[in-house]
Amino acid sequence: MGQIQQPIQGYDSTSPCGDNRDPQPFDFNFIFAFQPIVNIKNGHIYAQEALVRGLKGEGAHSILSRIDENNRYSFDQKARDKALQSALSCNWDGAISINFMPNAVYYPEYCLSQTLSTCEKLGINPARLIFEWSEKEYLTEYDHIRHVISRYKHLNFKVAFDDFGGLYSNFNLLTAYHPDIIKLDRHYVVGIEHDKRRRAVVKAMVGLCRDLGIDFVVEGVETIEEFKVLQDLGVDLMQGFLLARPALMQMPQATMPP
């Protein structure tokens, strides 16, 4: 496990990940918290999501607010490496979900070569990696994103659409980009026990993802009422405070509701 058998062809090793500019360093540090995605049918951990935090546990915004077009590329690469190193230090041997910035990747062959190198150095099988793309990062370069995602999948990385249904999404994303995983935005969870429209959307998404061969995750599950409704609607994969809160530099276990 962890041996990289598939070299990346067709990239210039001197090219930066960014859009024809040299990546700029950043003058701040960060660590990670982890939160599990849980298969509620058997209680097993489907994956642990790496969540960026400040050195004293400050929220993600304290770090992400310091990212701009000058340091985005360096941060994105450093975050990938550090997330993998953190998971290894926590003795986690399952799937690792990492958020990435599509707008920071203009040369996926080059950027992925570095990620693959880190995997090989740490003995991590690339098939364990899930890269989450949040639709909250507005994108217009659809051909470029299609190329980025295609390269990820070609090298056995999985691709997840995070916050699906929150801002810009439309169902063209499902046919254009063929994600492995969809994570439904918490907007559809809040008050679902009292809202037949939300229940109808979730039920339809369960069936659609099953037909398309996409793993369907509902995030932001915080109450037993939400959990039970989602369970009745056929949702098998959930993430949220009810099951486990993020833990700083630890791999939390899930607590299943009674």
CATH of the domain at 140: 3.20.20.450
Continuous segment of H or E residues that includes residue 45 = strand 44-53
Q: Is residue 65 part of a domain?
A: yes
CB 188, CB 208: distance < 8 Å: no
102, pLDDT greater than 80: no
Does pLDDT of 3 surpass 60? no
What pLDDT score was predicted for residue 137?
A: 56
Q: Of 47-56, 105-114, 207-216, which range is least confident?
A: 105-114
Residue 160 lies in a domain: yes
**What's the pLDDT score for residue 5?**
37
Query: What's 182's DSSP letter?
Result: E
Instruction: Look at residue 96 and tell me if it is in a domain.
Output: yes
SS3 assignment, position 201: helix
Q: What is the CA radius of gyration of the chain?
A: 18
Query: Between residues 113 and 62, which one has the greater pLDDT?
Result: 62
Q: Taking residues 196-204, what's their average pLDDT?
A: 96
Q: What share of the chain in percent tops pLDDT 70?
A: 82
**pLDDT tens, residue by residue, 33-86:** 999 999 999 999 999 999 999 999 999 999 989 988 888 888 888 899 999 999
pLDDT at res. 18: 47
Q: Hey, is 122 helix, strand or coil?
A: helix
- pLDDT score of 30: 95
Q: What is the pLDDT, as a whole number, of residue 218?
A: 97
pLDDT digits (tens, 9 = 90+) for 8-22: 344 343 444 544 444
Question: 68: domain range?
Answer: 31-248
Q: What is the mean pLDDT of residues 121-126?
A: 94
Judge whether 172 and 146 are in contact, CB under 8 Å.
Answer: no
Q: Is residue 1 part of a domain?
A: no
Q: What is the pLDDT of residue 168?
A: 53
Quote the CA–CA distance of 16 and 23 in Å, as a whole number: 6
pLDDT for position 106: 56
> 257 in a domain, yes or no?
no
Q: Quick check: is 227 in a domain?
A: yes
Question: Cβ(55)–Cβ(143) under 8 Å?
Answer: no
- Which residue, 157, 158, 160, 186, is CA-closest to 173? 160
Cα–chain center distance at 93: 17
154 vs 150: CA distance, rounded Å: 6
Question: What is the average per-residue pLDDT within 145-166?
Answer: 84
| pLDDT at res. 68 | 84
Instruction: Flag whether pLDDT at 204 surpasses 90.
Output: yes
Q: Which pLDDT score, from 0 to 100, does residue 11 have?
A: 37
Q: How many residues does the chain have?
A: 258
In a domain, 19, yes or no: no
Predicted pLDDT at 167: 57
CB 89 within 8 A of CB 57: no
158, β-bridge pairs: 130
Number of domains in the chain: 1
Answer whether 254's CB lies under 8 Å from 45's CB. yes
Q: Has residue 18 been placed in a domain?
A: no
Q: What is the phi/psi pair of residue 42, to 5°?
A: -125, -5
